[in-house]
Every structure is written in C-alpha cells, then in structure tokens.
Structure 1
Amino acid sequence: MAHALVSKGCRIMLFDLWGRGYTDSPLGVKHNPALYAKQIDYAVKSSQLEWSDGFSLIGFSLGGGIAMHYAATHPELLDSVVLLGPAGIVRRLPAGYMKWVFKFPVLDGTAYVRRAVAQCVGATTPLAEGSEVTESEGEGHTVERQKPDMAAIVQWQWNSHEGFLHSFVDTLRHGPVMHQHEDWRAVCRILKMEKAPAYLTGGNNGLYGSKLLIIFGDDDTVVLKSEVVPDMEEMLGKGAEDHLVVRDVPGGHGFPSTEGSKVVEHIAEFWRLPSG
C-alpha cells in the first residue's frame, strides 16, 4: 500500500507502534490513547521533512482507534482520516482477547499470560522459512520486493521482541480498542461543523467540514461493518452521508495485507489522486 501511494505522488511515513516491530515498549506508563498520540507527535516532529502544513492519517485496526483519538485532539493538523477495519467502538472482541488473566498486571510475564497472548496473535508455529522481506536492485535500478509473510512477522516479533507481550496486554487494558465513543463523537462534531474551533482563525481548516473514509473487509469477523456504520451514522445524525464514505474489499480482518491494491484504489479516489 505504501509503495502504491508513493507511486501516486504521496509522501508516506510508516512507524512501529510502541512494543511492536523494532520499537521499544515503554514501561511504567499506560498504553492508552494519549501515549499513542504522543508517538505520532514524536514521529512527525523528529522527521527531517516538514509535516506542519497538514497530513492525513491511515489507521488499521488498533491504528484506527489511535487515529480517531488523534483526530479528536489534533484536528487542526490533519487533512483527512482513513480507517481500515478500525478498532475503537467495536462492541465485542474475539473471546481470546477477553481472558481474565489480562485484567491483572501482577500476572504479566507468567506462563498463563504468555500462552493466552500467543493464542491471540497466532504465535504457535515455527518461524516460516524464506519469509524475510527482501529488496534487490537489478539493471535499471528496479527493486523487487517479496510480499511479507504476516504470520512469520508476528512469530519473529513474539520470539525476538522482549517488550511485545507487555505492550500487547497493556493496550488491551488501556488502549483505544473499545468504548472510544467520546473521541468518535468529537470527530463527528468537527466533521459536521457543529462548533467552530479556535484554530480556524489560523488559516488551516484541518478536518473541519470534511469527510471520513472507512474501509471494511467483507468477511471481517473482528470489526463488523454492520455495527460500526450504524453507530457512526447515529453520531453524525442527519446528513451523515455528507461526511462518511464507506467502502468494502474482499477478505477478513487482515485485508490490508491481502487486498492492498483494492484499498489503495479507494483511498486514491477519496483523495482524488491520479489513476493508474
């Protein structure tokens, strides 16, 4: 998706969430929406490139909840928000994510919690061979990229990242996964121009009066379109269709990795990017 958007003229920043990929897990602080919003600030402000003129956020799953919190608290910095199978206002999580052992920090690191997290993320098989993401430049400097094996990446993270388990469990406790309606309502008020924020006097309208794009996997059993869209329409009220764009692609909750080209087509249409 990132490479496809770059080919259409976009400038893309990708970064790991705390405790994922190559990024440390902060200890002694709650993995709540404010922490993740601060991480976006760190990423933008530490960049050698200038982002202060406004940027768009694309949030997948947990990233959707993070994006909506950031939009609610920093609307003047954003041009648009795109949500892909977003957490935040889901009504229920898969049963494995609701186990009682996650509720008690004193149990963190125990075999009980490790087994429960491994079952949630699917870290139960050996690391797949040949799963590394490789890039090689041949004649004409063309780059060949092997499609990442998501299961192998999760397994590598489980095997190699000492802070992953802590960040995963603490995010379930405090992160923007469920019950985030206050932030979503705040964003809806901004989209509908119900209250003119002070930042309008600075010349940057941000999200004020704009639209939100949400893309769902039509076989997603984690984030259900049939639940999220009615809740969004209720928050937006009359004229919701003027501020909410909903699209579907094939696939389950992992649709951004399996149907990335279709997702990019919808984003390109929403952003009015060049076709082809």
Structure 2
Amino acid sequence: MASLLSTFSETFDRRVAVVSATAFTFGLLVRSLFVPGKHAYIVPSPLTTLLPKLSAEERSKLPYPPDSLPGARDVDSPYGSIRVYEFGPEDGRKVLLVHGISTPCLALGGVAHQLADKGCRVMLFDLFGRGYSDNPADLPHDLRLFVTQVLLALASSPLSWKSFSMVGYSFGGGISAGFSSYFPDMIENLVLLCPSGLIRARHISRTSRIIYSEGIIPEPLLLSLVKRRLKTPLYPPKPQKDGDKIGASAAVKAEVPIESNSTAVLSKKHPNVTIDKAIVHQVDHHVGYVPAFMSSIRYGPIMQQHALWGRVGETWNGRSAESDKVHKVLIIAGESDSIIDAAELREDAAAVFGAAHIDFHVLGAGHDVPVIKPEEVAELISQSL
C-alpha cells in the first residue's frame, strides 16, 4: 500500500507540474497576444496637424511660417520628423546652430543669416517637440536624445559634415558642450551663447524643485500651469525671497523667465515674425510642445555638467599642445541676463575649460543676446572660426 501511495503521489506531482507549466506557458502566450509591449509614441508637429489645412497665404501669415528660413527639409526618423534648415555657400565654413529650450530654431535666424552672409554654410533644426519637429513623447528629453537628433540632422545633409563649428544657445549650449565631449574630432570650434549646463545648485530653489520633480503636483495641473506661463508676456519675474512660500504657479513663472525683443529681424523673408509670438503659436498648435519643454527641464543638460565640459577642456588643451595656436571656446553672455549670471559663468567655465582656453565676452543684453544682437554675435563667431 505504501508503495502504491508513493507511486500515485509521484505521478500526481508530475501531472501537477506539467499542468502548471502548460498553464504558465499558455498565460505568457495569451499575454503576448493581448497585452502590447512598449511602443514609440510620437506626437506630430503642426507640419502634419495644421499646415495641410491652410492655404499658401495663410501659411505665410503664421507666427512661424514654414519657409521662415532658406533650405528647409523635413527628415523622417524613428523618433519622428525633424525640421532642418541648411543654407549658405556649399564650400563655406560649416556652422551648426542649436537653439534654446522654449523657442524653435527661428530664435537663431538672425545669427544664421549673418553667418551665411559672411560665407558660412549654416544648419539649424527644431529640437524635438518644438517648431515643426515631432515629439517622441515616450522618451526622456535628455542629452542622449538630443545628441542623437544632432547626428540625424547632420546625416540628412547632401554635403559632408564630418567636421564643423557648433554654436549652442542657452539649453542648446548644454547640448553642444555635451555633444562636443563625445564627438570632439567633429568639432572645429565651440561657441556657447548664455549656455545652460553649469548653473549653480544654489540657484535651484524650492521654487524650481516643484518643476524638476515628478509627483509633487498632478501632471495635468503642472502642464496647464506651464502652458499658461508660456503664453504670458515674456518678461522675467521678480526673484523670490528665501522665506517665501512658493505655489505651483509661482514655480512655473520663476522657471520660465524669457526675455525677447519684438523688433529683432529673425527671418529675411518674413521680417515681422517674433519669438514671443512663435512661442505662443507652439503652445496653441503643437500638442507635443509643453510635454517636451517639461521633459527637457527635468532631464536635459541644465546643470551639473562639469564632467562633460571638463572633457571638452582636455580636448582643447591637447589641441593647443599639438600646435602653436591656443584653442579656445568662445563664450558670449548677457550683461543683464536674469537666468545665466555672467560672472559665475566666466568663473565656472574657466574652472572646467581652463582659463587659457576661453574667450569670454559680455554684451549689453539679457538672455536674448543672439536674438537682439545678431550682428555682434555673428561677428565674434566669425572671428573665432
């Protein structure tokens, strides 16, 4: 009897194991059929959601007309479509310009035109979620994403962009310095205009942490507050006192201080377009814009980039040692910039690049230096090439 029970028990255990394994396998199969994996979620830009509905005349009256700059092309990629502009003499010195966190590349249109007039071949593109570029909303908008976008834009050119000068403005400065640290052999000259990347931690107050951190306030409410802020007049808010209690709305206003000058000519074809109106247009017509802005605030190269910038300094130091010329990073700051403190930037840039390897200039403007002083900025860039 004991032997019979033992045999029965072993047979029963084997059958249970087989049934359990079969059920588990079947469950995995059913899950694979009915529960989809993670797929790319690309939010289309006004290129496909708005422009097809408009006449040529209506398009020309947009705050950011699709032909604002010469040489426009739309580059298809796994991350969505990318709007790229490329113009100037084909045999000219190549210059890639990367814009800031809240504007389309139109903000650098004045500088780009000036450089092209000086014989340079220039390229600009709208960062993901801005202007006429789609937003790969399932991905964090961090340095990795934007470095990839730079490579995609370069690869789309009919010309060879194996080496070029890189100009980064504000958030684009952080991207440009980061790109240069990983691809130093491609960069002939690096120019940083009021760049992010080295903002000191003491400037990141409780106010800013509301935006930088997820989960503190509901995401829909936060997105609504940011959207509202981006549509208000673009003047920097008054600084908060240390003891003040900061609400979510105040946090957004303090984090998005944007200066503009409505008289600056950014587009030769459409001289009346302005940055403030272009931003409002994005808010109203690019569904992926505000989420892209928020993701860039949270994950982008805004602060604590000292290690990557230090690698650029090592590259420039090595180049200087191999030649008679001292290679320098051109840095241009705004005297009255409420976002990037010129004195702190000079000190911190000298620490990471080496004082001998920076060419530092302060112009009489705010954070919008390249927007309102394109001639002066382009002249300094031209001299550094």
User: What's the TM-score once normalised by structure 2's chain length?
Assistant: 0.58
> 1:75 and 2:184 equivalent?
yes
> 1:178 and 2:271 equivalent?
no
1:184 is aligned with what amino acid? W
| Secondary structure, counterpart of 1:56 in structure 2 | strand
Residues 225 and 106 of structure 1, relative CA distance in 2, 3 Å threshold: closer
Q: Which structure's relative contact order is higher, taking Cα pairs within 8 Å and 6+ residues apart?
A: 1
Q: Whole-Å Cα distance in 1 between the matches of residues 335 and 383 of structure 2? A: 19
Structure 1 residue 99: deviation in Å? 4.7
Matches within 5 A, 1:227-246: 227-237=344-354, 240-241=355-356, 243-246=357-360
Structure 1 residue 101: deviation in Å? 4.7
Find the counterpart in structure 1 of residue 149 from structure 2.
Answer: 39
User: Structure 1 regions of 5+ residues with no counterpart?
Assistant: 136-142, 272-276
| Secondary structure, counterpart of 1:90 in structure 2 | coil
1:110 to 220, 229, 248: 220
Matches within 5 A, 1:65-214: 65-91=174-200, 98-104=208-214, 110-119=220-229, 121=230, 123-124=231-232, 145-193=270-318, 210-214=327-331
Q: Whole-Å Cα distance in 2 between the matches of residues 175 and 42 of structure 1? A: 18
Find the counterpart in structure 1 of residue 374 from structure 2.
Answer: 260
Q: Whole-Å Cα distance in 2 between the matches of residues 221 and 187 of structure 1? A: 26
User: Structure 2 regions of 5+ residues with no counterpart?
Assistant: 1-110, 234-261
Q: Whole-Å Cα distance in 1 between the matches of residues 266 and 179 of structure 2? A: 33
Q: Tell whether the 8 Å contact from 1:190 to 1:209 is kept in structure 2 after alignment.
A: no
CA RMSD between the two structures = 2.9
Q: Whole-Å Cα distance in 1 between the matches of residues 291 and 172 of structure 2? A: 18
Structure 1 residue 97: deviation in Å? 7.1
Find the counterpart in structure 2 of residue 49 from structure 1.
Answer: 159
Q: Whole-Å Cα distance in 2 between the matches of residues 17 and 100 of structure 1? A: 24
Q: Whole-Å Cα distance in 2 between the matches of residues 151 and 11 of structure 1? A: 27
How many equivalent pairs are there? 244
Q: Whole-Å Cα distance in 2 between the matches of residues 249 and 195 of structure 1? A: 27
Structure 1 residue 269: deviation in Å? 1.6
Q: Whole-Å Cα distance in 1 between the matches of residues 277 and 353 of structure 2? A: 40
Structure 1 residue 114: deviation in Å? 1.9
Q: Whole-Å Cα distance in 2 between the matches of residues 263 and 62 of structure 1? A: 17
Structure 1 residue 27: deviation in Å? 1.8
Residues 184 and 84 of structure 1, relative CA distance in 2, 3 Å threshold: same
- Which of the pair has more CA radius of gyration? 2
2:171 to 62, 66, 73: 62
